[in-house]
Amino acid sequence: MYLNAAHFVPLERTSDILEALCGVRPSDGTVVLNLQLAADRLTDFETQLKVALGPVLHADETGSKVNGKLQWMHVVSCAQLTTYGHYPKWGFAALEAMNVLPQFKGVVVHDAWGTYFQLLGQHALCGAYLLRELRGLAEHHGQVWAGELRDALRAVCHQQKEGTLTPKITMDFEVSFNALLQAGLDANPPAALVPGRQGRTKQTPGRNLAPRCQQHRLAVLRFLHDEGVPFDNNQAERDVRPWCVKRKVSGGFRSDEDGQHFAGVRSYISTLHKHGLNVWHGLVSVFRDDVILPNFSC
The pTM of this model reads: 0.93
Q: What is the mean pLDDT of the chain?
A: 93
Q: How confident is the model at residue 205 (pLDDT cuts 50, 70, 90)?
A: confident
pLDDT(200) > 60: no
pLDDT(296) > 90: no
Q: Of 45-54, 152-161, 188-197, where does mean pLDDT reach its minimum? A: 188-197
CB 269 within 8 A of CB 279: yes
pLDDT(201) > 80: no
**Residue 298, pLDDT score:** 57
pLDDT(195) > 70: no
Rg (CA), the chain: 22
pLDDT(185) > 70: yes
Q: Which residues of 220-244 are buried (b: 16+ CB within 10 A; e: fewer)?
A: bbbbbeeeebbbbbebbbebbebbe
pLDDT(4) > 80: yes
How many residues does the structure list for the chain? 298
**β 201-203/193-195 pair status:** antiparallel
User: pLDDT tens-digit profile of 211-233?
Assistant: 999 999 999 999 999 999 999 99
